[in-house]
Structure 1
Amino acid sequence: MQEYVLINQSEIKIECFRLNAEVNWVSQIYRQGDELELTSIDFRCPIAQIYQKVPGIRL
């Protein structure tokens, strides 16, 4: 495993943990207006797209 992601369901906030070269987990937080990047699978996506159908979340 190289990355794992925690997606907050009550606010626009995604936390991505990546394994670095020193074999430590490093956290990166994404918020509204950011673009999520998962380097392990070469994936990028605007945060708004992830939350577009979540009830109670305003974009």
Structure 2
Amino acid sequence: MPKPPPPGQCIQCWQHSYDRRIHRRLRRGEDCKPCLDHLHTGCPPEGKVPKKESFWW
């Protein structure tokens, strides 16, 4: 299991990048539909790990 995503990163994109088990079921040359969806439409704000509040003004 990969380490958890850092603040500000998309949870799904992080898992799909670092967990090889997710893409193991794909055939050679086959694209991952969730990855393509995030590539074309972007990552949803609710799917990101929240950042810590900044103390700078």
Which TM-score band applies after superposition, normalised by the shorter structure? under 0.3
Larger C-alpha radius of gyration, 1 or 2? 2
For CA contacts below 8 A with separation 6 or more, give which structure has more relative contact order.
Answer: 2
With the length of structure 2 as denominator, give the TM-score of the two structures. Answer: 0.28
Which structure carries more strand by proportion? 1
Which structure carries more helix by proportion? 2
